[in-house]
Amino acid sequence: AQSVTQPDIHITVSEGASLELRCNYSYGATPYLFWYVQSPGQGLQLLLKYFSGDTLVQGIKGFEAEFKRSQSSFNLRKPSVHWSDAAEYFCAVGATDMRFGAGTRLTVKP
């Protein structure tokens, strides 16, 4: 089965600073890749997805992610973080089902 690794459990950035959250996947074929965000006590909301084509994908809330096959990575980026971005971020890989990484908790300092 496919699997996902998010190396960073917790990241703190200052408001206005740039952000990069790392994601590495393991899957034998072309992966379907997703980033979801979860606010406390809530379900997961899709930020963006990659299926094929352009390796740089744009999502909601100013987020983007870049698929790099050679590195088996799908890192999430945002040029300027807002306090409202504080949440838990999950990378996921889809095949016959969908599996999630352990998540990265983002704290935003004023």
Partner 1 sequence: DAMVIQNPRYQVTQFGKPVTLSCSQTLNHNVMYWYQQKSSQAPKLLFHYYDKDFNNEADTPDNFQSRRPNTSFCFLDIRSPGLGDAAMYLCATSLQGGNTEAFFGQGTRLTVV
Question: What are the residues binding partner 1 (CB under 8 A)?
Answer: 2, 32, 34, 36, 41-46, 49, 51, 88, 90, 92-103, 105
10 versus 18: smaller Cβ distance to partner 1: 10
Task: For the chain, give the number of residues.
Answer: 110
Q: Closer CB to partner 1, residue 29 or residue 54?
A: 29
Min CB(106)–partner 1 separation in Å: 13
Report which of 41, 80, 42, 40 is spatially closest to residue 61, judged by C-alpha positions. Answer: 80
> What phi, psi does 109 have (nearest 5°)?
-85, 140
| Least distance CB 32 / partner 1 (angstroms) | 5
Minimum separation from the CB atom of position 1 to partner 1 (A): 9
Q: How many angstroms separate the first and last alpha carbons of the chain?
A: 41
Choice between 34 and 63, CB closer to partner 1? 34
Contacts of 30 by beta carbon, 8 Å cutoff, 6+ apart:
52
